[in-house]
Amino acid sequence: MAPAKSLAQQLGEKQREISVAEFFERNRQILGFDNPARALLTSVKEAIDNSLDACEEAGLLPELSVEVHKDGADRYRVIVEDNGPGIVRKQIPNVFARLLYGSRFHANRQSRGQQGIGISAAVLYAALTTARPAKITSKVEEEEAAHVVELFIDTQKNLPRIVREDVVLWDRPHGIRVELALKAKYQRGRQSPYEYLKDTAIVNPHARIVLTEPDGTRVTWERAATEMPPVPKEVLPHPYGLELGELSSRLKASSRPTVSDVLLHEFAGVTPRALKEILAAARIAPKTAPGSIHGEELEQLLSALHAAPLLPPSAEALSPIGPLLIKRGLRNVLGEVRPEFFAPPVSRPPKIRGGFPFLVEVGLVYGGGLPLDQPVQLLRFANRVPLLFQQGACAITTAVGGMDWRRYGLDQKGGAGIPTGPCVILVHLASTKIPFTSEAKEAIAEDEEIDREVTLALQAAARHLRIHLSRRTRRELAGEKFDVILKILPRLAAKTSALVGKPVPDLTPVITRIMDVVYVDPQPVATEEKKPATSRFTIDVTNYTPRPRVLELFLEMPPAEFPPSRVLPAPDGVEAPLGRAWWTLPRLEPSGRTRIELDFPSATEVDLDDLDLYVAGVDESHLLGADPLPGDWEVRLPRAIVEAAEAAAAAETADEAEVDYDGTETSSPLDEE
C-alpha cells in the first residue's frame, strides 16, 4: 500500500501550467472585452491598429473599411478590410490565433501594436461568445490569389486550429480582411466604434476610413493629407533608465568581443568620448569581454552609464502628431462649437524613460460653445491611437489633475482634480514603448518622467490660456469704457446743450482725455468668398492719449505659421525662426490711427489668438488690447526709436511724473517658469 500523501504533496500535484490563451479567455476584461459594447469596439480597434501599422510599414496610404452587421439579438458580424501588404499564408494562423505572437514587440520604434495579443484576443472572444471561427482573407502582391483561412484558438495550447481553408480570387492587389462573429452591442456616442474611428481619423489624416453601421448608414472620413507621416525608425536602446538585469543580459547576449564594442554599437547616445569617461569611472578595461562583467563591476558600469554625458535621445523612432494636425484635429472634434481660443500646440523634445524615447504633445482650446459648468474634456492619445476608457487610471489624467488650474483661469475644486470650464485638452504620448496599465492599452501607468513631461507641456499651453483670458478681460473692460464714452457721452452732451440752449461742444479732446490709452485692435477680416485664397488680419492702433506717441509694435506667433504671405507696411525687423516681426509706427497725434495688414495663405490655420501683440512706447496702464514688451525679447531697437522714446519719456516725466516707456521693463506674463 502506498503511504498516504502529505498535504504539501497533494497541493503540489495540483500545480500546473496555465496557457496564456486560457488565462486571457478567463480574464477577457484585461484585454478590453469587459462587455458586449466594449468588445465590439475593441475588436474594431485591434484590427484597425494593425492595419494602420502594416500600411505605414509598407509605405501605403491606408484605405480602411469597417462593416458592422447585426446577426441576432446580441450578435454582430464585424468585417475590417485594408489595402496593406497582406500576410503570407504561413503566418496567418499564428498572427490571428496565437496570443503573444507578433513582429513589433522586439522592434524599438513607435507603433500602435506591440504585444502580439490584440487581434488574437478578438478571435478568442468571438469563439468564446458565438462558437464561430474567425475568417481571414489575405492577399500578398506576389501571389495571384488570396488565401481564406477559418480558424479558432486552441486555448489549452495557445495554438491555431484551422477549420477550413481555401484559395479565392480577390480584386485587391494586396490586403487583409478579417471577419468575426461576436456577442456585441452596437451604439454610437461615447466609447463607440464611431468615436474611435473619428478620433483615429483626426490624428491619422493620411488614412481614408469608411464605416458601415448595422442600419446601413455609411460614414466616410476622407483623407485630409496625401503624404505618409514619417516612418519611425528602429533605434538602439538608450542607457538612461536601463536596469542592472537588462544591462547584464545585453552584455551576455552580445557577440561582440569587447565591452567597448557593445556600448558603442548596441546602445544609443554613447560617443567614443563618453565611452572613455564611462569605462574610466567604472574602472573597466576597454577590451574586457562583455560576458565577464558582473557583480560590483556591473553595478559600477551602470552607474557610470547613468551619469555619463550621453547624446540626447533621437526623435527618429517617434512619430509625433505635430502642431498643425493637433489644431486641425481639435477643430474637427469640436465642429459647431467654435472655440474662441486655440492655444498654440505644445510639442516637448524627446526624453528617455527606461531606455525608451518618448515625447509629449498638448493642444488646448477654450470658450465658444463649450459648456461652462462641466469638467474639462480630456482627449488622450498614445502613439496616435485614441484612448477611450480608463481615464481615471491614466497618468495623463493624473498630470492634468495635479496642476492648479485656478492659476490659469479655470475652476478647480481645492486646486486639484479635473478642472471645470469650457475647455478641451488634448494630450498625446508617443513612445517606442508605452507603459500601459493593462493589455487593453487604454490607460498609461503612473510614471515620474511621463508625469513631468506632460505637466510641462500642459503648463506651457495653460500659460497661453491665462494670457488669453487676462487679455480678454482687459479688452472687455476697454470695450465697456468705449461704449460709455463714445456713445453715451455725446448723447449726454447733446441733451445738456439742448437744455441750456447752447451748441454741442466738440467732445474729441474730452474723450481722448478720459480714455487716455493707446488702443490696439487686431481683427480677422471676413470675406464673402467661400474659399478665400488668403486669410487677412488687420491690426489698428489708435492713440487715445492727449499727446503724440512714438510707438513700436511687436508681433509674435507660432514659427510654423510665420511669415505671413503679405505684410503692409513691411516690418522693420523680422526674426523668422522665432516667429517674430516688429514695426516702428508712424508718429501718432492724439486721436491718430494707423493700420497694419497681414495676409496668410488660407491653408495655414492662423487664428486671432495666434497673434501675440506687444507695444513699446507707452506704459502698461495706458495700453489696451496688447501687452507691454516682455523682458525676454532681445530686439535691436533702431537708434532713432530709442532716442525718440527717451525724449518723450523725459518730456512726460517733466509734465506729470509718468514714464510712458520704460526700456528696462522686466515683469511680463511670459517669463514665469
Is residue 243 involved in binding its own copies (CB under 8 A)?
yes
Is residue 145 involved in binding its own copies (CB under 8 A)?
no
3-state SS of 355-379? CEEEEEEEEEEECCCCCCCCECEEE
Is residue 170 involved in binding its own copies (CB under 8 A)?
no
**In the set 1, 16, 526, 528, which binds its own copies (CB under 8 A)?**
16
Smallest distance, Å, CB 216 to its own copies? 26
Is residue 118 involved in binding its own copies (CB under 8 A)?
no
Smallest distance, Å, CB 238 to its own copies? 15
**Cβ-based nearer residue to its own copies, 34 or 340:** 34
Smallest distance, Å, CB 125 to its own copies? 9
Q: How many residues sit in the footprint of its own copies (CB under 8 A)?
A: 79
Asked if 615 contacts 629 with a C-beta cutoff of 8 angstroms, the reply is: yes
**Cβ-based nearer residue to its own copies, 10 or 220:** 10
Q: Strand 377-382 vs strand 518-525: parallel, antiparallel, or unpaired?
A: unpaired
**Cβ-based nearer residue to its own copies, 189 or 245:** 245
Q: What is the DSSP string of 410-463?
A: -B-GGG-SS-BSSEEEEEEEEESS--BSSTT--SBPP-HHHHHHHHHHHHHHHH
**Cβ-based nearer residue to its own copies, 441 or 549:** 441
Task: Name the residue with cell 525718440.
Answer: 644
Smallest distance, Å, CB 389 to its own copies? 9
Phi, psi (5° rounding) for residue 122? -65, -40
Is residue 140 involved in binding its own copies (CB under 8 A)?
yes
Smallest distance, Å, CB 42 to its own copies? 13
Is residue 61 involved in binding its own copies (CB under 8 A)?
no
Is residue 524 involved in binding its own copies (CB under 8 A)?
no
Tell me how far apart the alpha carbons of residues 72 and 183 are, in angstroms, rounded to a whole number.
9
Contact segment (CB under 8 A) with its own copies among 7-15, 163-171, 563-571, 588-596 equals: 7-15
Instruction: Give the contacts of 253 (CB within 8 A, at least 6 positions apart).
Output: none
Contact segment (CB under 8 A) with its own copies among 125-133, 284-292, 501-509, 549-557 equals: 125-133
Q: Strand 208-212 vs strand 341-347: parallel, antiparallel, or unpaired?
A: unpaired
Task: Name the residue with cell 469650457.
Answer: 422
Comparing CA positions, the residue from 579, 361, 379 lying closest to residue 456 is 361
Instruction: Give the contacts of 131 (CB within 8 A, at least 6 positions apart).
Output: none
Q: For residues 437-476, which are near its own copies according to CB under 8 A? A: 437-440, 443, 445-448
Is residue 18 involved in binding its own copies (CB under 8 A)?
yes
Quote the DSSP letter at residue 583.
E
**Cβ-based nearer residue to its own copies, 16 or 190:** 16
**Cβ-based nearer residue to its own copies, 445 or 494:** 445
Contact segment (CB under 8 A) with its own copies among 9-17, 42-50, 503-511, 520-528 equals: 9-17
**Cβ-based nearer residue to its own copies, 10 or 653:** 10
Tell me how far apart the alpha carbons of residues 377 and 650 are, in angstroms, rounded to a whole number.
52
Tell me how far apart the alpha carbons of residues 334 and 480 are, in angstroms, rounded to a whole number.
30
Contact segment (CB under 8 A) with its own copies among 19-27, 307-315, 595-603, 650-658 equals: 19-27
**DSSP element (H, E) containing 661:** none
Comparing CA positions, the residue from 644, 658, 624 lying closest to residue 543 is 624
Smallest distance, Å, CB 192 to its own copies? 16
**In the set 80, 87, 330, 400, which binds its own copies (CB under 8 A)?**
87
Is residue 497 involved in binding its own copies (CB under 8 A)?
no
Q: For residues 271-300, which are near its own copies according to CB under 8 A? A: 294, 298
**Cβ-based nearer residue to its own copies, 174 or 536:** 174
Tell me how far apart the alpha carbons of residues 178 and 164 are, in angstroms, rounded to a whole number.
15
Q: For residues 175-214, which are near its own copies according to CB under 8 A? A: 183
Q: For residues 29-58, which are near its own copies according to CB under 8 A? A: 29-30, 34-35, 54, 57-58
Smallest distance, Å, CB 17 to its own copies? 5
**Cβ-based nearer residue to its own copies, 104 or 327:** 104
What is the SS3 assignment for 137?
strand
Give the cell for residue 241. 533608465
- Partners of residue 420 on adjacent β-strands: 375, 411
**Cβ-based nearer residue to its own copies, 125 or 221:** 125
> Which residue type occupies 659?
V
Q: For residues 395-434, which are near its own copies according to CB under 8 A? A: 397, 413, 433
Tell me how far apart the alpha carbons of residues 299 and 329 are, in angstroms, rounded to a whole number.
47
**In the set 42, 110, 111, 130, which binds its own copies (CB under 8 A)?**
130
Q: For residues 97-116, which are near its own copies according to CB under 8 A? A: 98, 100-103, 105-107, 115-116
Is residue 306 involved in binding its own copies (CB under 8 A)?
no
**In the set 392, 509, 601, 631, which binds its own copies (CB under 8 A)?**
392
Site track 537-576 with its own copies (rule: CB under 8 A), x = hit: ----------------------------------------
Smallest distance, Å, CB 88 to its own copies? 4
Comparing CA positions, the residue from 390, 336, 410, 398 lying closest to residue 368 is 336
**In the set 2, 8, 499, 654, which binds its own copies (CB under 8 A)?**
8
Is residue 255 involved in binding its own copies (CB under 8 A)?
no
Give the cell for residue 154. 486552441
Sheet strands side by side (includes 580-584): 573-575, 580-584, 552-556, 612-616, 627-628
Is residue 372 involved in binding its own copies (CB under 8 A)?
no
Instruction: Give the contacts of 415 (CB within 8 A, at least 6 positions apart).
Output: 404, 405, 406
Tell me how far apart the alpha carbons of residues 471 and 458 are, in angstroms, rounded to a whole number.
20
Tell me how far apart the alpha carbons of residues 298 and 93 are, in angstroms, rounded to a whole number.
42
Task: Name the residue with cell 514659427.
Answer: 559
